[in-house]
């Protein structure tokens, strides 16, 4: 017990020293920025405030990215240059091709379904009685970590062979009640991938609903009333007034969910570990680099993941710039 408290105080002391050092550095930077010569003071103050963030960005993002790209052209130890061998391996191995296909399926379905369900829910409960409570119920899964959600849904899909105890998975119990045989939802390929996708949609629908609901409330009432007076029905009002009015938010929602889906790791890892043909790029990257020690192959998968995310980010930035120009 004494050793435990000694170790705890040591860790607490290190934390205090770190906080004091951080405060001292910030204080020195602010002091020097305030004492900068009047000529060019704005530049030096800007540099003083921006440089710490730029240094951290370079250390935590830019250098690791360059290092990862370099390692993707090396062997499993990261020391011998092998050229495009890792990329050739990626696009010729059936298992890795399955991983890439699974990732594309995730990106195609999760943002689409989450946005459709979130938009539909936001429209149906708009200005309804108990709107806040209804929104809270749908948004609640966002408060659960991906690992927690994976564990919850793993119990939902739980399978027990008939004759070896009662079913504790709600889906298999319902199937048994209706006279069917329990199914191994997480092992039957390729349907197990879609059962994993359900978990991500369940989490992201609340995010889409909140943003789209706020955007819908921001559509000018005058325009909606004008469309109604012109004889437009509810569907026409939605297509010609509401949908164009929330286009910017739709783009943000779809691109944000797409990026999160490309990086999905926790759900797959917690529910199947990437087995039974369910692995995706992020999970396979971890498996190759850390479980199997294939640094080069894991780095190549990381580069491919970055390449997949980049077009979505660029598109999102272009759309946001166009909206600023219009405003």
pLDDT string in tens for the chain (327-residue length): 566 666 666 777 778 887 888 778 777 777 777 776 777 667 777 777 787 788 888 888 899 999 999 999 998 888 889 889 999 998 999 999 999 999 999 999 999 999 999 999 888 887 777 778 888 888 888 888 899 999 999 999 988 877 667 778 888 888 888 888 888 888 888 899 999 999 999 999 999 999 998 888 888 888 888 888 878 787 888 888 888 888 888 988 999 999 999 889 999 999 998 889 899 999 999 999 888 888 999 999 999 988 888 888 888 778 777 766 655
| Every domain of the chain and the residues it spans | 2-71, 85-326
Q: Which residue's structure tokens are 């749908």?
A: 138
Is the pTM for the entire model greater than 0.85?
no
H helices of the chain, in order, are 2-34, 41-57, 63-71, 85-90, 94-124, 131-139, 146-156, 170-177, 191-217, 221-229, 234-237, 243-245, 247-262, 266-271, 281-286, 295-326
Q: For 169, which DSSP code?
A: S
Nearest to 210 by CA among 79, 118, 317: 118
Distance in angstroms (rounded) separating the CA atoms of residues 13 and 174: 55
Structure tokens at 264: 């999905």
Rounded-to-integer distance, Cα 138 and Cα 120, Å:
12
Q: What's the CATH number for 85-326?
A: 1.10.3720.10
What is residue 276's DSSP assignment? Answer: T
């Amino acid at each position: 017990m004494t050793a435990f408290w000694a170790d705890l105080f040591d860790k607490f002391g290190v934390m205090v020293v770190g906080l004091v050092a951080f405060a001292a550095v910030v204080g020195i930077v602010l002091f020097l920025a305030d004492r900068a010569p009047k000529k060019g003071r704005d530049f030096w103050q800007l540099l003083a405030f921006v440089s710490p963030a730029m240094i951290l960005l370079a250390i935590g993002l830019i250098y690791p990215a360059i290092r990862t790209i370099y390692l993707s052209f090396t062997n499993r130890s990261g020391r011998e240059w092998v050229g495009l061998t890792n990329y050739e391996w990626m696009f010729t191995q059936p298992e890795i091709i399955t991983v890439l296909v699974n990732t594309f399926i995730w990106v195609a379905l999760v943002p689409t379904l989450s946005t459709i369900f979130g938009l539909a829910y936001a429209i149906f409960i708009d200005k309804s009685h108990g709107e806040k409570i209804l929104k809270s119920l749908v948004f609640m899964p966002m408060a659960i970590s991906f690992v927690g959600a994976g564990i919850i849904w793993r119990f939902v899909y739980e399978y027990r062979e008939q004759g070896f105890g009662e079913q504790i998975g709600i889906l298999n119990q319902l199937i048994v009640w209706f006279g069917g045989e329990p199914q191994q939802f997480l092992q039957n390929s390729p349907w197990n991938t879609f059962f994993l996708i359900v978990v991500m949609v369940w989490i992201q629908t609340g995010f889409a609903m909140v943003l789209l609901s706020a955007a819908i409330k921001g559509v000018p009432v005058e325009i909606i009333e004008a469309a109604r007076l012109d004889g437009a029905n509810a569907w026409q009002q939605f297509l010609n007034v509401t949908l164009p009015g929330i286009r910017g938010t739709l783009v943000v929602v779809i691109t944000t969910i797409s990026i999160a889906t490309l990086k999905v790791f926790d759900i797959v890892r917690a529910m199947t570990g990437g087995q039974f043909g369910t692995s995706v790029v992020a999970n396979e990257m971890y498996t190759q680099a850390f479980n199997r020690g294939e640094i080069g192959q894991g780095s190549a998968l990381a580069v491919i993941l970055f390449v997949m995310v980049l077009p979505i980010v660029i598109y999102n930035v272009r759309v946001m710039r166009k909206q600023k120009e219009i405003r």
